[in-house]
Amino acid sequence: MINITLPDGSVRQYESGVSAMDIALSISEGLARNVISAKVDGEVWDTDRSIEKDSAVQLLTWRDDEGKNTFWHSSAHLMAEALQSLYPGIKFTIGPAIERGFYYDVDPGEHKISSEDFKKIEDKMLELARQKNTFERKEVSKAEALAFYKGNEYKEELINDLEDGTITFYTQGDFTDLCRGPHIPQTGIIKAVKLMNVAGAYWRGDENNAQLTRIYGVSFPKQKELTAYLHLLEEAKKRDHRKLGAELELFMFSEKVGAGLPIWLPKGTALRTRLEDFLKNEQIKRGYKPVITPHIAKKELYVTSGHYEKYGEDSFQPIMTPREGEEFLLKPMNCPHHCEIYGHRPRSYKELPLRIAEFGTVYRYEQSGELHGLSRVRGFTQDDAHLFCTPDQLKDEFLGVLDLTRHVLSKMGFEDFTAQISLRDPNNPDKYIGSKENWDNAERAIIEATEEVGLKTTQVEGEAAFYGPKLDFMVRDALGRSWQLGTIQVDYNLPERFELEYIGSDNQGHRPVMIHRAPFGSMERFISVLIEHCAGKFPLWLAPEQFAVLPISDRFNDYAKTIEETLAPFDIRGIIDDRSEKVNRKIRDAEVRKIPFMLIVGEKEAAEGKVSVRKQGEGDVGVMTIEEFKDYFQKQL
């Protein structure tokens, strides 16, 4: 008998060789019908795979992220089976699950696959799904695998990279694929499919390789879930920050300036400045000291920090000075500069903690195909700060940063978030710098601090920064989508690489600990999420234009100017729409521009010193004096 420990801590005994599906059936048939895959000692398995020893087992359903991942991976195989049936001779490469659905990269050969073919592919997928074929796992030798895929140079390349004895095939129906798995129990679970897009993709992401056809899709266990998802996509299109950013005149891009380099227009700059001012004021209250560092630095700085080794391929190429022959880089990170600020003179323990902050612009050479509005750019500004403290101060400083980050998210209306502790990958130590002891200390500090304040967290291996673990805030927007925004990182390694010290009370030199933090993450990405979260209808305190005065004719433009001037000293920002348009058109345009308040003025209002107030999205809220409107407005903040 073996012991199976379930997530609630209960232990059940089974015969060796029991499967996750057997375990589910022993609990209830209803559970068994919904189980997609299982996590066995942290690894996701097929439900029919034999468990031979004492193990911790979690049964995964559609409600679990790993369950969705399995479902979509199997859907990619189902799509490949349909493509094989419809397009003889097609060559398959890889077909993974992604955050929302799946894709498969194929070499279609003589065939051309376009969105016009989606309906017949979808119909074929559902036809095959109804056959309820099981996914059969088979271990094969490298020689067998190469023989099976003879003539498919893509699969041959993948197989040659694998070790003999680690290669598995999965077969469902008439389709067999090189695959690690896992997969759902049978294809009949897939009830609804939708192909979303077709695009070009280079084999293994290398533009020197062959260009393939990438087909994206999504699938669900119920048709109503697909219908809801498609409705969500339509709503997301309306909220797309690129569309709203143009309509609201917040930012722009220029081919002459360069792809991925946003230009902030006056209204967007006003929005961004208010965000920055809010955080700057909070930082001053909490003892941060603002600094400014250059946009470039000598290559040696980033060699010392390790950024050149880890980010060199993603950075802009070094700039060589023509006379001195020195190499400079556009700044990929602010932290090396802040280490230099700390180290520019001797430090005493009495000066610690030292908290320095900067809205610093950094540059990464993202591939053109990965650029996406403000969400993925080549130049972005981080609300960066670095705290240098003694080991004894670390927990309190981390808790202080945690409190600030939660305050920032709350102020922006992001109440629904989860916190992810991103740890190193224990199987890939070459990804990281620093000693195991330093990593152990840093990871323990984050875990203990979050436990102390009762913050619910998940732990994910392999997502740490190369110099230290981090706490990432995964925020859900109004459409339920998850975004990674704020981050806090504990770092024992950069102080060591820069040989930073402080003189302790024992008059000896000691190494400080460093905390990296950015509550917004980057201004560009944060604003893109904020735009889509509120559909361009910003919180009143942030709105670039908080009111629009709408005179019903040119005769009242002077009175409109008086209103604007009266409200300005109270930091109430607005515009005057003095176009020769009918007032209904002006109201409609102000609604489209998401201006919170419309102040309509005509003969009666001008004579009585009043305004007729409309609230965006709600309509008329009454006639008020300017003073009454000021008080009403301030209560809305």
Which residues does the annotation mark as catalytic? 335, 364, 382, 384, 386, 470, 516
CA atoms within 13 A on the CB side of 74: 35
Q: Is 178 helix (H, G, I), strand (E, B) or coil?
A: strand
CB 528 within 8 A of CB 240: no
Cβ–Cβ < 8 Å for 45, 96: no
Q: Write the CB contacts of 212 (distance below 8 Å, at least 6 apart in sequence).
A: 93, 105, 106, 107, 200, 201, 202, 203
For the chain, how many residues are written?
A: 637
**DSSP class of 511:** P
Closest CA to 158 of 200, 203, 201, 202: 203
Residue 557: CB atoms within 10 Å:
15
CA-CA distance, 420 to 544, in Å (whole number)? 33
Q: What is the DSSP letter of 257?
A: T
Kindly report the number of other CB atoms within 10 A of residue 402's CB atom.
22
SS3 of 128, please? helix
Residue 491, beta-bridge partner list: 514
Give residue 422's Cα distance to chain centre. Answer: 14
Q: How far is CA 241 from CA 535, 538, 633, in A?
A: 8, 12, 27
Rounded to a whole number of angstroms, the CA Rg of the chain reads 29
For residues 490 and 469, is the Cβ–Cβ distance under 8 A?
Answer: yes
- 10 Å CB burial of residue 56 (0-12, 13-18, 19+) is middle
